[in-house]
Every structure is written in C-alpha cells, then in structure tokens.
Chain A
C-alpha cells in the first residue's frame, strides 16, 4: 500500500481524484495552499486510489496522510 503525505501544513484547496481512479506516477492528486503558496501533491508511484482522506477546506499538518493508493 502506498500513500501520499502532505509536504507542508496548510489547507486542501483541490481534490483532483476520487476512490477507484487510476493514477500515474508523478500525477497531481491534491492541491494545498499555505501562506499564499499553492503546492500540488503527487502520487509517487502508479496505482488505484483506495481512499481520499481529506476534503476541500480541511487543514492538514506536514506529514499527514491525505490519500491511500493500492
């Protein structure tokens, strides 16, 4: 099981995939915003989205798991 973690603390502003979607390595899956900066989070490896753990507007801390792939 692979997961995507937040690279910084901030707010989730876009969720680009849903459970069941196939994603490629390096694909943007979530976009976060903090301190006037938008940062996309990417899937490190290809897989199927098992669970999206966040919603738009959620505040997450650095290192939090935002998405699980299988």
Chain B
C-alpha cells in the first residue's frame, strides 16, 4: 500500500492523514466546493475536487471518488466514518476497480447494515439480542399483536436504520398504531427499505460498545469497552473508558460477546459492537458498526494503540502481533464532541469561525477540522472538533477535561462548549452514575 485516498472530510480525514504519514504512505484528499479551504485539503499530499457542496454530488458520489483514485494512482481507499463507510456497494465497487477498501468485505457490511439480518446472525451465534420480533409486519394491527405479547414500551425500528435514525419508542397500542405507517414511510424514503422490527424497550439503559480488531488470518481481539451513554437526539456527545458502570466480570463477559459477534460474521479490520445494558447489567447486542468510530481516540488514549495504523496494517494483509493479554486500560480517557450548535437548544449554528485557540496541555489531544477563518457550512455534520483527555484516574481525567474546555476559545459561531462543561461538572456525572436519559433528565429539571 503506497497511496491512500480518503473518501471523507474534516477531522477524520486529518486523523487518517497523520497515521498514513507515520507509515510513509502518501495521501489523497477529495473535497467538495464548500471544503476547498479546509485544513484537510492542504494537509494531504494531493487533493481532488469532486463536486458541489451537497453530499449526493460529492462525498457520496462513488463515480467521482473512484475517478479521483484512478487519476491519482491511489491503491487503497479509507472511507472514514459516516458517508460511504458502511455502503456495501461502494466497498464492492472499490474491489472491482482493483482498490483495497480499508474495512471489512462488502458482504459483512451488507449483513450488519441490515438490522434484522444482524439480529438473526447474532442470535444464532449465541450473542444475546434485545428480545423482540423481526418477522413480517405489514400492518399496524400485526405490529400491535406482537407488541402486546412483548409488553410495552417497545421500540419500533427500521431494519435499514442506524445511528439513531429510524427508531421510535411507543408506550401503547394507540401510539404504535399512529407511528407504524408513518415510520414505515420514512424508512422507505430515507433508506429505500420499509422493513420494520420491534424490540422490547430497555429502561434506563446504558449504551456500551466494544472495540474489536481482526486480521485476515483468523485473529480476533477486543480492545475493551467505551461508555457512550451521554447522548442527545440518540447521538453521542461524550464518551469515556473504562466505563464507570462496569465491574470486571461484566466487562470480561461483554468483551467476550463482542469477539464472538465478530467471529460469527468473519469480521476483518477495525469494528465496534454496540450493546445496550439494563440496570441489572444484562446486556444485548444492538448493532455492529463496520468502520472506525468517531470516538476511537478514547480507546487509543486508554490503551496507547493507534487504531488507524492497525486498519492500514490489516488491510495490507499483516498478521496482528498484538496479544489479547497485552490490551490494558493504562489510563482513563474521555472524549468531548464539540458541535457547532446552540448549547441550550442543540440547534445547528453554521457560520465563520473568528478566533480559534485550542488548549495546549499535556494529556489533552485535539482532533479538529477547523481553524480561525474556517467557514462552518450548513451542508455537513455539526461536529467541528473532538477534545480527548486522559488521566491516571477518572477524577484526574475529568478535572483535566474541565480545565481544557475552559481554555478552549472558539468565537464567531455558537458551540456546545458550555454544555460539555455543565456535564463534566455535574455531580451525578462525576460519581459515574448516569444512563442514556442523562441529558434529557437534566434539561427537564
């Protein structure tokens, strides 16, 4: 592997460039008209303009991306996260074009992208899945009869959904009746697939995920868990590891279940198995993300590993040298996602960044997309930076994160920096007592 094209943008493009540079691999950025002045475009060895700002014409434009790879002589494609990263057709087209797709096979991506198929595979492999129903459901009345057997509340989910989109909690027959057809219509419109399924709603849940890595030679390792329960609109805001909620026995069980899940699908590369855990510490498979996660730096700062370097090595056919017993939580790590949004309403706040001064402190890592003068456009995700801190203890990491956030200077747009500080200074958060309901509960008070 000599030259990698990065089919992504922003902070993750910069992150991938850094690991490629360390390994002496040259890089190609692709960019839309809206991103031409962004740092990632300058930092790559080459950059190719692929289209206008809207993603269907640029970052989701498979033909334009493959043409850029051909033009520059790239021999591999890193899809980052989001965008085309979990698009089986894209992975297949890369393979057909003779390019190495840095990720699992198109078949694995397709199986895990279909939540109903994923549930079946995991259940057959002995991995616990949320009790539910995934048989044929054409009408609201059919859904109601299955929900009644399960007991309310239940989650109504789209098989092709994910990342918090295409799901809805319903509390009784009437809510399910009202939600069913509209949810089905939305699933058809957004994902081109209106298959729905039901899951028993887990009360006061924790969202805990396990990082895994697998090579092409049958070696599968877990890289411990990440606690991702601090969410707004079903999207993560702050992640940490180790999880303050887990005891050692549960940790070993959930990590083992993740390895079992990865083996069940012959997974290769870096991936994440997401679980939901109830207050009794019973855990269930939710979905598998067949790509690098936004929050991968939490694992990196905790273990000292470089996950992007591992992706590059595995994609090049290397055998994993790392042994399971060598994977250790050396430090406590916390990631704060910095969004261009109103800190109270959480509504997007595009605009031009005036001052931009990230903190410079030991054990504080900034993975950012922007600089002073960057135009944060309304076309893409609102995340502009990630602040990752680590400490020898959780308390030390929290104190360091607070200090770093207080020093972080961003003007010209609104950001959620004040909100992140509020979370870190919250007594319950500091005690490590929180569930996915945390933000909602604090906001209602």
Binding site for B on A (CB under 8 A): 7-11, 33-37, 39, 59, 62
Q: Which residue of B lies closest to A8 (CB)?
A: B347
Q: Which residue of B lies closest to A7 (CB)?
A: B347
B233 to chain A, nearest CB (A): 8
Q: What are some 28 contacts across the A-B interface (CB < 8 A)? A: A7-B345, A7-B347, A8-B342, A8-B347, A8-B348, A8-B349, A9-B348, A9-B349, A9-B350, A9-B351, A9-B378, A10-B350, A11-B378, A34-B350, A34-B378, A35-B341, A35-B348, A35-B350, A35-B379, A35-B380, A35-B382, A36-B381, A36-B382, A37-B347, A37-B348, A37-B382, A39-B347, A62-B349
- List of B residues within 8 angstroms of A59 by Cβ: 378
> Can you name 4 extra interface pairs (CB under 8 A) apart from A35-B378, A36-B382?
A10-B378, A34-B348, A35-B379, A37-B382
Q: Which residue of A lies closest to B383 (CB)?
A: A35
A36 contacts B347, CB within 8 Å?
A: no
B340 CB within 8 Å of chain A? yes
Count of chain B residues near A, Cβ 8 A: 14
- List of A residues within 8 angstroms of B340 by Cβ: 35
Bound complex: CA of A52 vs CA of B382, how far in Å? 28
Bound complex: CA of A10 vs CA of B341, how far in Å? 12
Number of A-B residue pairs at CB separation under 8 A: 39
A14 to chain B, nearest CB (A): 14
- List of A residues within 8 angstroms of B350 by Cβ: 9-10, 34-35
Most chain A CB neighbours (cut-off 10 Å) among B347, B351, B379: B347
Bound complex: CA of A33 vs CA of B347, how far in Å? 10
B74 to chain A, nearest CB (A): 27
Bound complex: CA of A34 vs CA of B382, how far in Å? 9
- List of B residues within 8 angstroms of A8 by Cβ: 342, 345, 347-349
Most chain A CB neighbours (cut-off 10 Å) among B345, B349, B351, B380: B349
- List of A residues within 8 angstroms of B381 by Cβ: 35-36
Bound complex: CA of A58 vs CA of B23, how far in Å? 46
A54 to chain B, nearest CB (A): 15
- List of A residues within 8 angstroms of B347 by Cβ: 7-8, 34, 37, 39
Bound complex: CA of A37 vs CA of B382, how far in Å? 9
- List of B residues within 8 angstroms of A37 by Cβ: 347-348, 382
Q: Which residue of A lies closest to B377 (CB)?
A: A35
B86 to chain A, nearest CB (A): 16
Contact with A along B355-388 (1 / 0, CB 8 A): 0000000000000000000000011111000000
- List of B residues within 8 angstroms of A10 by Cβ: 348, 350, 378
Q: Which residue of A lies closest to B341 (CB)?
A: A35
Bound complex: CA of A34 vs CA of B349, how far in Å? 8
The 8 nearest A-B residue pairs measured at CB: A35-B348, A34-B348, A8-B347, A34-B378, A35-B382, A10-B378, A9-B350, A8-B348
- List of A residues within 8 angstroms of B345 by Cβ: 7-8
Q: Which residue of A lies closest to B379 (CB)?
A: A35
- List of A residues within 8 angstroms of B382 by Cβ: 35-37
A64 to chain B, nearest CB (A): 13
- List of A residues within 8 angstroms of B379 by Cβ: 35
A17 to chain B, nearest CB (A): 21
Q: In chain B between 110 and 143, which residues have their CB closer than 8 angstroms to a CB of chain A?
A: none
Bound complex: CA of A10 vs CA of B350, how far in Å? 8
B20 to chain A, nearest CB (A): 27
Q: Which residue of B lies closest to A11 (CB)?
A: B378
Bound complex: CA of A9 vs CA of B345, how far in Å? 13
- List of B residues within 8 angstroms of A7 by Cβ: 345, 347
- List of A residues within 8 angstroms of B349 by Cβ: 8-9, 62
- List of A residues within 8 angstroms of B378 by Cβ: 9-11, 33-35, 59
Q: Which residue of A lies closest to B378 (CB)?
A: A34
- List of B residues within 8 angstroms of A11 by Cβ: 378
Q: Which residue of A lies closest to B342 (CB)?
A: A8
Q: Which residue of A lies closest to B413 (CB)?
A: A9
| CB-contact partner of B380 in A9, A36, A39, under 8 A | A36
Q: Which residue of A lies closest to B82 (CB)?
A: A36
Bound complex: CA of A8 vs CA of B378, how far in Å? 10
Most chain A CB neighbours (cut-off 10 Å) among B345, B350, B378, B381: B378
Q: In chain B between 162 and 219, which residues have their CB closer than 8 angstroms to a CB of chain A?
A: none
A42 to chain B, nearest CB (A): 14
- List of A residues within 8 angstroms of B351 by Cβ: 9
Bound complex: CA of A62 vs CA of B345, how far in Å? 13
- List of A residues within 8 angstroms of B342 by Cβ: 8
Bound complex: CA of A34 vs CA of B339, how far in Å? 13
Bound complex: CA of A36 vs CA of B54, how far in Å? 11
Bound complex: CA of A7 vs CA of B378, how far in Å? 14
B189 to chain A, nearest CB (A): 12
